[in-house]
Every structure is written in structure tokens, then in C-alpha cells.
Structure 1
Amino acid sequence: MHGATGLESALWRAVAAYRGLALCYAAVMIAMNSGGYARPAGGWAVLGVMTAWTAYAYRAYGSPRRRGPALPAADLAVAAGCVLATAWVETEANIAAGRPTLPVSWVAAAVLSWAVVHGRRGGVAAALVLGAADVLVHVIAGTAGDMGSTTFDGVVLLLLVGLVVGHVVRLARESEARLARAVELEAATRERERLARRIHDSVLQVLAMVQRRGGELGGEAAELGRLAGEQEAALRSLIGSRPRVPEAGASSGAAAAGGAEVDLRSLLTGHASPSVTVSTPATEVPLPAHAAREVEAAVAAALDNVRRHCGPGARAWVLLEDGPAGVTVSVRDDGPGIPAGRLEEAAAAGRLGVAQSIRGRVADLGGDVVIVTGEGEGTEIEMTVPRPGTPPRGASGG
């Protein structure tokens, strides 16, 4: 069931208003036709039931806690019962002449309720039940052969009401959800901009000063300045990235379980620094949260290898490419390259940085890793990860 949003409240108020007005019309029709009923007291009894149910439905549908499956079912049962009571109250001649059922248009309120709760399919299902009850009145009265266009027109009208109202309600709910996401995104953006201003006025300025002074002093201070510069670049990239709001329907439980999608760009750009250039597409690159974190961890392991084995002056480039079948992340450096057989020797010696931190992670995601290197030519590690539903590829190395 949907929550008690402003849209929900407005929909139920509209249904309640229609139900009340339709009851007044039914009361007028019963008062006008009661003299010609086979059982006039029965007509007033049906009106009493309709009045009591209208009052109860107004209170019940007004409380979100009562809008369980039983309430619309009872609503439909009462409406169908009032229709069937026509066969007992009316005369056979009046039914054959096409006189409307006792509740007339009041029964459409049940169709509206089902359309609001269950959408188009629910509205159409309720209309079919009431249409069948209308036809059954003629069967019980023995006038099935005298059914005119009035009966079928009423059934068709109920079907259109259920279909159209159910469709409009679905569109309205989707619009409300999109508006809520837009408001959430705007609030997140404003908060990010506020934090960015405060960070810029304090932390970023301090890091920039440490980088500048460390370069002037040299020695160990220069290394400290270099690290401060890397952190400054990473922090600037983080506060400058656009926040991503989960799609409607993505629950917090799904997010916690790694089922929600995140933008891989925002994870990779956090590794940008004066010595690391990160290039990503202009549009979002969504991946399931678990897969995105594993790819980011593999990239972090590759960059850590560059820092440890290529020297402090080495540069690295990270390139993210998005395709219909999956994503490809390349990490390239200008270091001395990996001598032939070095990776196998490292794995045999128990150093599994490339074998597990990179190849292992990507293989677990159904992807593969290709390493292109040569002495004095740098190294490029290309990681390809398929999207969910895409046939996995076996891991390979180059």
C-alpha cells in the first residue's frame, strides 16, 4: 500500500466527494421510482445500506491504516450486493424496460477505489465484477433476452472509468515521485555547495599552503607537500562531483545489500591528484554498488603499485569507458614497465597484489584483465566488467 502522501489524501477526498454526490442522486431516483417497485420497502432498505456504507467508507478510506486489501474488497461486495438487490425490489417489467439499478452511478465509487489502490488492472477488474452483477440482475429476473443497450453502456462506462482513472493515478504517482527526487537532489546539492564553501575556506587553503611550503623547503617537507597536494586535488574532485539520488523504488535495504546502482565516476575521480589524471564520460556510469566498489578497489590497487614500484615522479592515467555490454577501466603509467616473468615470480613468492587485488576482484565480477607492459615502456592494465545480465567473460592476462 502507498503511504499517506498529499496525492493519496487528495485522491481519497475526491472519491469520497463523488460517493456522497452519487448517493444523493441515488436517493432522488429511489424516491421517484419507489411507487413502482415490487417491494418499495426494499428500495429504502438498500438506500439505508448505501448511506451507512458511504459514511463508513469516508472514515475508513480517510485513515491510511485501514486501507488494507479487505476494505476495497468489502467496498466492491457492498456495491455488487446493492446492484443484485434490484432483481428483488424492482418489477420484472421495469427491469425489462431498462430502468437503472437501485444504486445507479453510486457503484462507480467502488471502481474508483480499486483504481486508486490497484491501478488500471484493479479498476478494470472491479468494473467487470459490477458489470457481471448488472447482467445477473436480468438473469435472475428472467429478462436476459430483453437486455438493451443501456445495460451494456453502463458496463462499458464502468470499464472506461476503471481504466482511465487507474492510468491517471499511476501517472500522478510517478510525477510525485519524480518531484520528490528533484527536491531531494536540490537539497543535497545545496548542502554540498555549503560544505564546499566551508572546506574551501579552511581545509583546501591549508593543504595548498602545505604543498607550497613543502616544495620550497625540500627534503622530507617536499614529500609532505606532495601528499598534501594529492589530498587537495582529491578533495576538490569530491566536493565538485554531482550527488546522485537513488531512483524511485530503490529501498534502503537494497542499497545496503549492494543492489542499488551508484555512479562509478564519483568513485574513480576521488583518486585524481597532481600525478594521477582521471578521465570519465560526461554522463553517469551506473553499476551495482558492490561491483562499483570492487572496480574502484582494483583501480586503487593498480595506482598503489604505480606509487610503490615506479618512483615518486611517475604519472598515471585512469580512463573510464562505458559501453552497452559493460564498462572498461584502463590504468596506464609511464614507469619502467614490468620485466617478463615478474608477475609470475611475485605470485609464487606470495605477493598477490595483481593476482588477487586486481585480477581476482575483476574475475569475481565476471570480467577480465589484460596487462600490456614492457621494460622502459610503462604498464597499462585494462579491466573490463560486464553489466548484470551480460554473459561473463573469462579472465585473461597479457
Structure 2
Amino acid sequence: LPKCGGAPPVCSRHFMSGFLRGIFDKMLSRAGAKAAQAIKPTIAQRSAPPLVQKMRSLATEMTVREAINSGLDEEMERDEAVYLMGEEVAQYQGAYKITKGLHAKYGDRRVVDTPITEMGFTGLAVGSAYKDLKPVLEFMTFNFAMQAIDHIVNSAAKQYYMTAGDMACPIVFRGPNGAAAGVAAQHSQCFASWYASVPGLKVVAPYSAEDAKGLIKAAIRDPNPVVYLENEILYGVKFPISEAVTKDDFVLPIGKAKVEREGTDVTLVAFSRPVQFCLDAADVLAKEGISAEVINLRSLRPLDLPAILASVRKTHRLVCVEEGWPQGGITSHIAAEVVESAFDDLDAPIERVTGADVPMPYARNLELAALPNADDVAAAARRVCHRSA
């Protein structure tokens, strides 16, 4: 396989053809166990040194970056059919260092650098999933995944249905989604509602280190294509973790939300980074005598509607939060579901807190104005509680 260290080259058509042919020859020549055998690492796998293992066992906090890396490592060690592919994931160890150390441990044949061609390497990965491999595909940003949307929706999501259950597509599409900081309109879009609308896909969006590790492991083990939406700003954030999270067998179920904070007056629902906005708003509201319950969705498809409805029937008020645009968003879908199933339980209209209905501005002050924050969430909660600051 060609090695693209550092910034991936802009490859010629001749190189790209040879690259794809070489990958297919190596990975898709045999089905089933033979195919998995073809991607065994060319160097011996090395377990973490005893000191590192001890540090892991004693860990009380972990960053989201470390959590994803740990989950990938454990699943690659557990299952030889799992491999990683993407731009700069190998020798450069990932644009965001999510794959740090994995190329050194598992070698060129299981951590694969690609040229800059999302359409090409996504089609390649989907094809290998048809042949019983388990690719984990990294997009440097989900904005670039638009180049590969045909393979994600038409090739991966629909395969199981179109083959009447004869051919699954166990693949994970992962990478940063939504706004980062100062990267403007073409690098800041939230695609959560796009993918969550597609039958055949599962869609998860972790908030904490616990979410990140448990959901990446669940996504890799799932026989369906899973879209794993990360947030760049959360990568370096440390979260407290329990001892259970450090174990190799820690897996979270896809389709189950988590109540991050219990409350009785209003329900705040969010996913990914906006969960923190809700928690911060809940702290402010508590000082004003408003008890807010915060639900971390974790999974967008399937959506844990029973958890949302149970909370709404307790608090009788709902505020939904997301960074995406207001029209056709996750919050719109949740509001519709709650009105259809629990209208009589509501004591106030549902409030939605979203990003502004504009492409993301580059200027910092305009970027901040275009994104939701804790103050916006608190203000919405006061409105549904008929309170003022």
C-alpha cells in the first residue's frame, strides 16, 4: 500500500487507479474469514506496557480524544476484521490525533492512509464491509463527507434492505461534525438531522468520555452502518469516568439516552456539545428556583423517545437544543413526536434552541451569535416556566 505521510498528496488519476486496485486486491480477494486474515498486521501486536495498563486502571478522568482512541484500540485487538482508513490516520496519527499509536501497533494493513478522495476511499470501505471486514472510516470533517454521500446513503444504508437481509454493511463513519472555532461556513455545518433521517443508518453523537468510548465500541460491533458524530471542541475536554469505563468490555447500547441531571420543572434535551450548555443552564436555573432535568440523547437514530416522554410527563415542559439549523432539525422532530404522543402532558409550548438560520460566519463575534449557548437555553426554560430572569 502507498504510504501518504504528513499531508496526503493530491493524487493523479493514474495513481488513484493503482491505489484502489491495490487495496481491492489485498482486501477484497477473499470473503469471510479469509478476507479478515488478509488484513492481519505485518508487525507483531504489542500490548500496552504494564505502567500504562496500571495508569488506565487508576484513571478517574479521560478526554474524549483518549476515550475514542481507547475504544478503537480495544476493538482492533478484539477483532482482526476491524481496520481504520482515512486521510492522515496512519503515519500522522490522525488530524486530531484520535488514531495516535494505532499505526505503530497494528501496521500499514490495518491503519490505512488515503489520498484526498472521500468518494474513492468511502466506496472502497463500503465494498470491503460487503466482504465481512469492519472498516472504521475517518472523515477529517463531516463537511467533506458530502463528497461521499452517495456511498453512505445509497450503498451502505440501503444494502441490507435491498438484499432482503442477505448482505449487511458493518461500517463506521466517524469524524468531527458541527461548529469548531473560526473555520467558517464550509467546515462548520451540523449534519445530524441529515443522517438521522435515513432508514438503514444508525446515528450516535457522544458528549462525554464515557459516551465516546462506549458508543465507538458499540458502533464497531453493530452489523449496521453507523454514523458517529464527534465534536472537535470536545476532543480535549476531560470528563470524570468510573472504573467500568476503563474496562475492555465497556459498551453502551445504541438507542438509549442518559439522564445527566434529574429535575422536576422543565426537561432540557440535547446531544453532543449542547449537553454542556444545558447543564450550565441548569446550574443557573437552580439558583432561581427552577429544577431542570437534562437528557443527553447519545443516539439520534434510533431515538430514545420513551426517555424523553417519561421526562416530559414528569416536568410538563420541554426545551430542545441543537447547534444545527432550525428548519428540519433534530429538535423539530422531537417536538413533533412529543406533541403527537404527550400533548396533554404539556403545560407550555415546546421551545427550540438552535443555531441561526445562516451559513456559519467567519468573524468570531458573528460565529458566537450564530450558535446557541447556556444563556439561550436558560432563557427558553424561563419562558416555558413563565418566569423572568
* TM-score category of the 2 structures, normalised to the smaller one: under 0.3
Structure number with larger C-alpha Rg: 1
More helix by share: 1
TM-score (norm 1): 0.26
Q: Which has the higher contact order (CA 8 A, sep 6+)?
A: 2
> Which structure is higher in strand share?
2
